[in-house]
């Protein structure tokens, strides 16, 4: 673990986290749809512009077919044009890179929801084989790996992954499987190795790789997971099941609602924050014109 703090962009939340998230770690946010996770994620990603000089990346795994309004929120709250990334390998020597370039901070190349067995089919002898998704996954990597690599090379140090849907058994979720692959093999891959895999055997790009090395151990990731539970009490009591990435995450935040008098309050708490002091406060928040605001 790298020493240092990464601000969430929300001073009150940073105080609850003993100064912020720990650099280079994974934090998971649990909460029902519509509770404000995306607002929190975009705030964290946008704050990279102030803290590191480069906004974070937004990787959307949503496969429901409905928009999570990332671009609308980013434009309204931060004046941020969230351009989708579409290229494979960016020409490093080109002074005018493809449209968007490293300003293209959004990708939704993994639109798969469901159980891993939903992507399998039985053969006549009863054995299962992978059905199309592995080929689709490998094809998606042609745009996904450059999306992360070139942004990291340009200074981005934050990743927000959104759109992870509820699953009775997290171990069965293809989304959890794909995120784990992405996190281990791309986000936290050594910069030189990842650059060589993308840019070589075109050896003329070796100079670019050597001059744009970054410390992958300083990349901090925020994973937003949608749950069936809506009440904060149920989220706090939620058991960590096999395959649930919260078991290995450094930090867990929960966002839920509770009835307070004649109104429904939105509440946030820190359940886990390894390697740091943390507040046991449960704080009310609102989604206002300026985004997420903690009381």
Provide the CATH topology of domain 22-253: Rossmann fold (3.40.50)
At 99, the pLDDT band (50, 70, 90 cuts) reads very low
Determine contact, residues 102/96, Cβ cutoff 8 Å: no
Write the CB contacts of 259 (distance below 8 Å, at least 6 apart in sequence): 265
Q: How far is CA 295 from the centre of its chain?
A: 25
The CB-side HSE value for 109 (13 A sphere, CA atoms) comes to: 25
Q: Tell me how crowded residue 46 is: count the other CB atoms within 10 A of its CB.
A: 24
Instruction: Indicate if the pLDDT at residue 172 is higher than 80.
Output: yes
Order of strands, edge to edge, in the sheet holding 26-31? 106-107, 57-60, 158-164, 220-226, 26-31, 251-260, 263-273, 282-288, 291-294
Write the CB contacts of 196 (distance below 8 Å, at least 6 apart in sequence): 209
Instruction: Indicate if the pLDDT at residue 22 is higher than 90.
Output: yes
Mean pLDDT, residues 85-101:
60
Which pTM was predicted? Answer: 0.92
What does the mean pLDDT of the chain come to? 88
Q: What is the pLDDT of residues 189-240, one digit of tens each?
A: 999 999 988 887 556 678 888 888 999 999 999 999 999 999 999 999 988 7
Where do the domains of the chain lie? 22-253
**% of the chain beyond a pLDDT of 70:** 87
């Amino acid at each position: 673990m790298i020493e240092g703090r990464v601000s969430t962009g929300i001073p009150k939340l940073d105080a609850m986290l003993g100064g912020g998230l720990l650099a280079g770690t994974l934090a998971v946010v649990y909460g029902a749809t519509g509770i404000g996770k995306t607002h929190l994620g975009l705030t964290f990603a946008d704050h990279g512009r102030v803290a590191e000089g480069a906004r974070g990346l937004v990787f959307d795994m949503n496969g429901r077919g409905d928009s999570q309004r990332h671009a609308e929120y980013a434009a309204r709250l931060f004046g941020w044009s969230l351009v989708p990334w579409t290229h494979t390998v960016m020409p490093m020597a080109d002074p005018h890179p493809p449209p968007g370039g490293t300003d293209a901070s959004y990708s939704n190349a993994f639109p798969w929801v469901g159980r891993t067995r939903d992507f399998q089919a039985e053969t006549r002898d009863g054995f299962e084989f992978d059905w199309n998704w592995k080929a689709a996954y490998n094809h998606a990597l042609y745009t996904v790996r450059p999306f992360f690599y070139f942004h990291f090379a340009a200074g981005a140090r934050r990743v927000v992954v959104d759109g992870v849907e509820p699953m009775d058994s997290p171990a069965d979720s293809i989304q959890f499987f794909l995120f784990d692959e992405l996190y281990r093999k791309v986000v936290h891959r050594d910069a030189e190795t990842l650059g060589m895999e993308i840019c070589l055997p075109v050896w003329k790009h070796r100079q670019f790789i050597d001059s744009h090395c970054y410390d992958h151990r300083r990349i901090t990731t925020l994973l937003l997971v949608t749950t069936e539970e809506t009440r904060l009490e149920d989220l706090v009591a939620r058991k960590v099941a096999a395959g649930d990435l919260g078991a290995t995450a450094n930090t867990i935040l929960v966002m839920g609602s509770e009835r307070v008098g004649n109104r429904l309050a939105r509440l946030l708490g820190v359940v886990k924050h390894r390697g740091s002091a943390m507040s046991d406060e449960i704080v009310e928040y609102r989604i206002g014109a300026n985004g997420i605001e903690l009381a």
